[in-house]
Amino acid sequence: MYGVIRFLDTDLLGPASLGEDYPKVIKSGIDGESQHHESPKITGPCGIALLFYRAGRMDILEKLLDVKNVQQFDLRARSGVLFYLDVYLHRRGYNVEMGYQSNRTGEEAQHGVRYLIVPDANEQHSQWIPQCTSDLGSLREVVR
């Protein structure tokens, strides 16, 4: 049996019907089986939204999304377990990078996955447009 991905309407992120490049909370459809071939794609922004939603920390997600009032955002999630990878999330202005970091050294992946946040006309919701990372330095380097 295939799971069909469904998204949740939220006050912060808006309706589940927003396009593919918008962060959304995954409501159902993820299980041990494969996803149905007609399911919408699950993207990095959806994973971030789901993480904060499940942790009950939509206030942190709100800060990540607030590109007008919060210019810089950094988060590291450490597992404390050697065989799990720790993750990082950086935002500088409208640029977001997320990836894995070494549990031993703290060194970040070169390079993580990048997105450009593009607010819609009324600035209620924002698309996250994937960016090529092959020729860019780390966002960490930008602030040094």
Above 90 in pLDDT, residue 84?
Answer: no
Per-residue pLDDT, averaged over 108-135, amounts to: 83
Lowest mean pLDDT across 18-27, 54-63, 85-94: 18-27
Domain spans, the chain: 1-57, 66-144
Backbone phi and psi for residue 65, each to the nearest 5 degrees, phi listed first: -80, -15
Q: What is the pLDDT of residue 78?
A: 81
Q: Does residue 73 sit in helix, strand or coil? A: strand
Above 90 in pLDDT, residue 116?
Answer: yes
Mean pLDDT of the chain: 81
Is pLDDT larger for residue 144 or for residue 85?
Answer: 85
Is pLDDT larger for residue 93 or for residue 84?
Answer: 93
Q: What angle do CA 109, 110, 114 make, to 5 degrees?
A: 90
DSSP letter string, 2-13? PBPPEEE-BTTT
Quick check: 2 and 35 in contact, CB under 8 A?
yes
Beta strand pairing status for 113-119 and 126-131? antiparallel
pLDDT category at 1 given cuts 50, 70, 90 is low
| Phi-psi sector, 80: left (phi>0), alpha (psi -120 to 50), beta | left
Above 70 in pLDDT, residue 24?
Answer: yes
Q: What is the pLDDT of residue 103?
A: 74
- Convert the pLDDT of each residue in 61-81 to its tens digit: 999 999 999 999 999 888 777
- Count of residues making up the chain: 144
Above 50 in pLDDT, residue 143?
Answer: no
